[in-house]
Amino acid sequence: MQADFDSVVRKLVDDAHLPREEILKLIEAKKKELAGLVSDVGAAHIIANELGIQTLPSLKTVSKIDDLRPGMSAVDIVVRILRVFEKKEFERKGQAGQTGQLASFIVLDETGTTRLVLWGALANLSDAAKPGDILKISNAYTKTDLQGRVEMHGSNRTRIALNPDGVGEDLPKVSAAGSYSGGSGIAKEKEISELLENEPTQVSVRAIVMKIFDQRAPFFETCQTCGRSVNLCAEHDHSTTKKALILSLLLDDGTGVIRTTLFKNAAESLLKMSTEEAEKLAELAGNPLVLYTAANKVVGTELVFTGRVKKNAVFDRMEMIANSVSEVNVAEEIRKLEKELEEPAK
């Protein structure tokens, strides 16, 4: 009971930002007010309740992402990591030479996904954690991002256990999210402004389609034998060739813009039609540019593009060759699918 009392008082000191003596005074006053009907612990819980601070074990139910609201101060939650962003260092305001660091993640549970931002030493978790890992988080807080979405933050009061035994095993798996990266493992999620000239691995960019370049027919001729562009294949016979789709977009994620080319499957998924269907439509219309009517529907939409980043030496700019495009809520779709697949087995 004394341990309980101490932990509640500690929580009040932390969360209410009041000195311990002040908290003890409030508790004493409450006991008097209630004429000895409550214990020290009971009075401490009542004070906490009055201050809007969660202390009772019964109130401290583990939250789900869907329950998160802005301004929560003591969130306990178990989530799975969907994406890990690179750790960032920044100069502390008004403290020249003093740097801070933060790392962010996209995490999910069976109710949704959210961004998790970790500050200070906690940010080092991004070195060890990878998609699919479980995080048991206590004492996180919430706030809204610039778009008004709720996100979770962790600072020095927050405790995080990485892959604790027997916890979170029932959370949706993210292995299926390999589709984020065209199937070869999870790509590193980056902001456009952070992209390097020659990214060593695939990257994912979550960005809004600003423009689709629509002056040229969205097809190129490929070699029937190897599937490469006829311009790149000098080995095979090209008396008959196969059409493949190509789309060129401008993406913007708020940190920068990048030109991105989508070939074949990636272009198909953006157009939501197969190459054969696209060919047929172009033929029926008598003009391949008609396909941009379909493509332009995604202008203004936020999507996740995964692929390689390269420097275009001719134009001296970075470009992305995307090999997959996913809806931002793809994780949710995967989860639904997994649930449906699991259901009959139960």
Would you say the C-alpha torsion 236, 239, 242, 244 has a positive or negative sign?
Answer: positive
**Nearest distance from residue 119's CB to Zn ion, in Å?**
52
Residue 145 vs 237, nearer CB to Zn ion: 237
**Nearest distance from residue 255's CB to Zn ion, in Å?**
39
Residue 237 binds Zn ion (CB under 5 A): no
- Helix (H/G/I), strand (E/B), else coil: 86: coil
Q: Which stretch binds Zn ion (CB under 5 A): 24-32, 68-76, 132-140, 234-242?
A: 234-242
Whether 282 and 291 have beta carbons less than 8 Å apart is answered as yes
22-30: list long-range contacts, CB under 8 Å, 24+ apart.
23/47
Residue 51 vs 233, nearer CB to Zn ion: 233
The residue from 173, 236, 336, 339 that contacts Zn ion (CB under 5 A) is 236
- 55 to each of 42, 162, 313, 328, how far by Cα in Å? 11, 24, 59, 36
**Binding pattern for the stretch 211-230 against Zn ion, x by CB under 5 A and - elsewhere:** ------------x-xx----
**Nearest distance from residue 248's CB to Zn ion, in Å?**
23
**Nearest distance from residue 235's CB to Zn ion, in Å?**
5
Residue 4 vs 221, nearer CB to Zn ion: 221
Residue 233 binds Zn ion (CB under 5 A): yes
Q: How far apart are CA 90 and CA 120, in angstroms?
A: 11
Q: How far apart are CA 268 and CA 2, in angstroms?
A: 65
Q: How far apart are CA 314 and CA 321, in angstroms?
A: 16
Residue with tokens 């070195």: 127
Residue 142 vs 241, nearer CB to Zn ion: 241
Residue 244 binds Zn ion (CB under 5 A): no
Whether 155 and 140 have beta carbons less than 8 Å apart is answered as no
154: β partners: 118
**Binding pattern for the stretch 70-109 against Zn ion, x by CB under 5 A and - elsewhere:** ----------------------------------------
Residue 231 binds Zn ion (CB under 5 A): no
Residue 270 binds Zn ion (CB under 5 A): no
Residue with tokens 């003591």: 74
**Nearest distance from residue 244's CB to Zn ion, in Å?**
13
Whether 119 and 125 have beta carbons less than 8 Å apart is answered as no
Non-local (6+) Cβ contacts of 198 within 8 A are: 309, 310, 311
Residue 61 vs 225, nearer CB to Zn ion: 225
Residue 96 vs 234, nearer CB to Zn ion: 234
Residue 171 vs 233, nearer CB to Zn ion: 233
Q: How far apart are CA 238 and CA 223, in angstroms?
A: 6
Residues that bind Zn ion (CB under 5 A): 223, 225-226, 233, 236
